[in-house]
A = this chain, B = another copy of it.
Amino acid sequence: MSSGRPRATSRSTIAEAATELFLERGFAETTIADITQRAGVSRSSFFNYFSSKSAVLWAALDDAIHSAVEALRAGAAPSAALRAAAVHIQADSLALAIIHGSVMGLSDELADERAIRTGILSRAVSDSLVSTGMARLEADVHAAALSATVFAAIWAWAASDAPRPALSGLVDRALGAAGASR
């Protein structure tokens, strides 16, 4: 999807309206009707871009995770698959939610949703390591460290003062901590 097309504009308009409302009222108190009214779009337009209220925050990251899982299944090396996915993440709504999680009433939800996605990525990485001959126990532990890199980098990126460092640099630093060269 190229920038400047109507689709991209509607999508970002919805995401901006939703993020504003989450900040003003809290996540739980904001309805999809509130979001479509603020954004000036129809309900069907909302569901054209997002499957749920929560997806406004997570859709960009979920697309990147989906790409990484596909790449791992196709035989990509774990650190390369994670680095490639992280480069394409455009997660401004999520970054705002991370910074303002307590104002939005989202701290617990963010932690659980982060953990579930770390688990999805970790299982894919573990399967990939097992397919190269590593035992499941060791694969699970290495996979947990590798998949945590993407989330540690996003959280560090969101928490950074402007101008934010490049997400890819933080991913490389996190991969270094995970001993990705092993």
Contact = CB atoms under 8 A, between A and B. Distances in A.
A149 interface: yes
Interface string A113-126: 01110111011000
A174 B141 contact: yes
Contact of A153 (B122, B137, B170): B137
A136 B156 contact: yes
20 contacts: A112-B116, A115-B119, A115-B120, A118-B119, A118-B144, A136-B152, A136-B159, A137-B170, A138-B173, A138-B174, A141-B148, A141-B178, A142-B145, A142-B177, A143-B148, A144-B145, A144-B147, A145-B145, A145-B148, A145-B178
Report the 8 A-B pairs with minimum CB-CB distance, sorted nearest first.
A115-B119, A144-B148, A140-B152, A145-B145, A141-B177, A138-B177, A137-B156, A115-B115
Interface of A: 111-112, 114-116, 118-120, 122-123, 136-138, 140-145, 147-149, 151-153, 155-156, 159, 170, 173-174, 177-179
